[in-house]
Structure 1
Amino acid sequence: MALNRIIILLGLLFCFPVFAHTETDCASAFTTLEINDCLNDQLQGKRDIMQQYLVAAKKRYSDETKVISAIDAGQSAWEAYKTSHCDSIYTLWMGGTIRVAMTLSCQINLTEARTHEIWSSYLTYMDDSPAILPEPEKPAD
């Protein structure tokens, strides 16, 4: 039974390019697929920003290998937490079509929070010196 599901999923995965979509107008997204597509694009943008802040943090501490290792360990632990937590959100909403949107929103919010934490922890100074990068967007409450 599980093998049949895997075969179906793989078939859908390989057929996906056939159904490649045109650019979605996120301001007027209406269908579940359009909303999920927009949220996925938003998440990718948030991931890209987080990566920029991580690169800047590592650059700042490039001479301190223990700090770089600690940043990497913290990021790995955060990734595991984000996956576990947002998977629980998916499970919570498993019975509805909103499950993917809720999971993507979870990932967006946690990524924004992580980016802000990276900025606060590694890219600001204790005095009035300007931060290495501007303060990133905070997650919506």
Structure 2
Amino acid sequence: MKQMMIAALMAAFGSPALADPSVDPNTVHACFDGAKDTHPACIGDAANACQAQPGGATTLGISACLQGEAQVWDDILNAQYKGARAQLLEQGGTPLADQLLDAQRTWIAFRDADCGLVYSIWADGSIRTVIASSCYLNKTAQRALELHNLGNME
């Protein structure tokens, strides 16, 4: 589903090279490591820095920067999911771990549908890719932090 959303976003404007401009994954990891809640102000900092690079201030560049940061958050989310699932397997066995799997699948469908709606609302403007990419970035980052908190419950 994620690939479909990104493909739709990329198809709207072509496939911008994420290498130029580029997102610094260290900025995203520092945001994750320092987050005190699920909505830290640092979400988007890597994309903002990316946008200051040559080519980053265009619609294509902004979208590429947002998508680049979202990809780092998605990698963090996947690691947090695996950790939370392993912890639930230890604590409550397969039923709890399977419940997390169901919740995660439902969350992915919600994120993709919600950001797809935003994209469709703005279908007549070039800003649609930027707005949908921002939606995807924010929801993915917040879910990564939610899963981190879930995995750290004792």
Q: What TM-score, normalized by structure 2, do the two folds share?
A: 0.64
Name the CA distance, whole Å, in 2 between partners of 1:43 and 1:53: 15
Higher relative contact order (CA 8 A, sep 6+): 2
User: Which residue number in structure 1 is paired with residue 99 of structure 2?
Assistant: 70
1:120 aligns with 2:117: no
User: Which of 18, 23, 40 is the aligned partner of 2:20?
Assistant: 23
Cα offset for 1:116?
Answer: 2.1
Q: How does 1:54-69 map to 2 (within 5 A)?
A: 54-63=81-90, 64-69=93-98
One-letter amino acid of the structure 2 residue matched with residue 106 of structure 1: C
User: Which residue number in structure 1 is paired with residue 124 of structure 2?
Assistant: 95
Cα offset for 1:122?
Answer: 3.2
Question: Which segments of 5 or more consecutive residues in structure 2 lack a partner in the other structure?
Answer: 1-10, 23-49
1:52–1:22 Cα change, 3 Å: closer
1:117–1:21 Cα change, 3 Å: closer
One-letter amino acid of the structure 2 residue matched with residue 33 of structure 1: L
Contact 1:56 1:123 in 2 (8 A): no
One-letter amino acid of the structure 1 residue matched with residue 150 of structure 2: S
Question: Which segments of 5 or more consecutive residues in structure 1 lack a partner in the other structure?
Answer: 1-12, 126-141
Partner secondary structure for residue 125 of structure 2: coil
Partner secondary structure for residue 89 of structure 2: coil
CA RMSD of aligned residues (A): 2.3
User: Which residue number in structure 1 is paired with residue 32 of structure 2?
Assistant: none
Name the CA distance, whole Å, in 2 between partners of 1:121 and 1:22: 33
1:22–1:71 Cα change, 3 Å: closer
User: Which residue number in structure 2 is paired with residue 8 of structure 1?
Assistant: none
Cα offset for 1:121?
Answer: 2.6
Percent of pairs with identical residues:
26
Cα offset for 1:21?
Answer: 6.9
**What number of residue pairs does the alignment pair up?**
111
Contact 2:17 2:64 in 1 (8 A): no
Contact 2:80 2:148 in 1 (8 A): yes
User: Which residue number in structure 1 is paired with residue 135 of structure 2?
Assistant: 106
* Greater Rg by CA: 1
